[in-house]
Chain A
Amino acid sequence: DQQVKQNSPSLSVQEGRISILNCDYTNSMFDYFLWYKKYPAEGPTFLISISSIKDKNEDGRFTVFLNKSAKHLSLHIVPSQPGDSAVYFCAASQTGGFKTIFGAGTRLFVKA
């Protein structure tokens, strides 16, 4: 039972353009959502998070949008840079110390 789904295995974007990575979840009890970035031979690195009481959180070039009614969140990267090329994982949890559930990841390629 995949509670967090990233339906696009890969995405290719031109440098300077916007990258949009999508994520859907099924468990309505999730109230905290995170994005992690992973380079080869490294562990995932925290990128940005959002609580369910918000619908948008911005940090520099990265913005996460949350649509609770659709159980959907997205990560926007503007402008995209070649160094952003990595695997991006969407993750969700229920505050109170519950386990974090990860999606399968989307591999982003940013072409120079």
Chain B
Amino acid sequence: DAGVTQSPTHLIKTRGQQVTLRCSPKSGHDTVSWYQQALGQGPQFIFQYYEEEERQRGNFPDRFSGHQFPNYSSELNVNALLLGDSALYLCASSKGLAGDYEQYFGPGTRLTVT
């Protein structure tokens, strides 16, 4: 049974560019949440998708957007990249709305913005 998978593992982008990160949830899970983890900090909640809709959002600008597909996989898009967007981006899945259940995390995508 595959756990949460994320792609790519690493990528390097230039300021002003756009990036798309992908996530496949654990089998049987229907909720996907995205987190940003800067160096030395804990994961910061970006948003949560359930039934293909954004259900919760953290304190992130509109440059951060996402999508959930009918098969529950999800994408995170970041436009107009800033140096401060360099971080580890984690995807987590759960069965049911996150907040009520433990989440299963993927290994993350390391984004470097130069």
Q: Residues of A at under 8 Å CB distance from B?
A: 4, 6, 32, 34, 36, 41-46, 49, 89, 91, 93-105
Asked if A97 contacts B90 (CB within 8 A), the reply is no
Known: A36-B105, A99-B33, A100-B99. 18 other contacts (CB 8 A): A43-B90, A43-B92, A43-B107, A44-B43, A46-B103, A46-B104, A49-B102, A93-B100, A95-B100, A96-B97, A97-B98, A97-B100, A98-B99, A99-B56, A100-B33, A102-B42, A102-B44, A104-B40
Q: How large is the interface on B (under 10, 10 to 19, 20 to 34, 35 or more residues)?
A: 20 to 34
Cβ-based interface call for B15 (8 A): no
Q: Which of B48, B102, B103 has the most CB of A within 10 A?
A: B102
Asked if A99 contacts B48 (CB within 8 A), the reply is yes
The contact string, 1 if C-beta is below 8 Å from chain A, for chain B 90-114, is: 1010001111101111111000000
Q: Shortest CB–CB separation between residue A48 and chain B, in angstroms?
A: 9
Complex Cα gap A94–B4 (Å): 24
Asked if B41 contacts A104 (CB within 8 A), the reply is yes
Complex Cα gap A45–B105 (Å): 7
Majority secondary structure, B binding face: loop
Within the complex, which residue of B97, B100, B102, B105 is in contact with A43, where a contact is CB–CB below 8 Å?
B105
Majority secondary structure, A binding face: loop
The 6 closest A-B pairs by CB, nearest first: A97-B97, A43-B105, A102-B42, A46-B102, A93-B99, A98-B99
B residues in contact with A105, CB < 8 Å: 41-42
Cβ-based interface call for B55 (8 A): yes
A residues in contact with B99, CB < 8 Å: 32, 93-100
Asked if A100 contacts B104 (CB within 8 A), the reply is no
Asked if B50 contacts A104 (CB within 8 A), the reply is no
Asked if A44 contacts B105 (CB within 8 A), the reply is yes
A-B contact pairs, 19 of them (CB 8 A): A6-B42, A32-B99, A34-B102, A36-B105, A43-B105, A44-B90, A46-B103, A93-B100, A95-B99, A96-B97, A96-B100, A97-B50, A97-B96, A97-B99, A99-B48, A100-B33, A100-B45, A100-B98, A101-B45
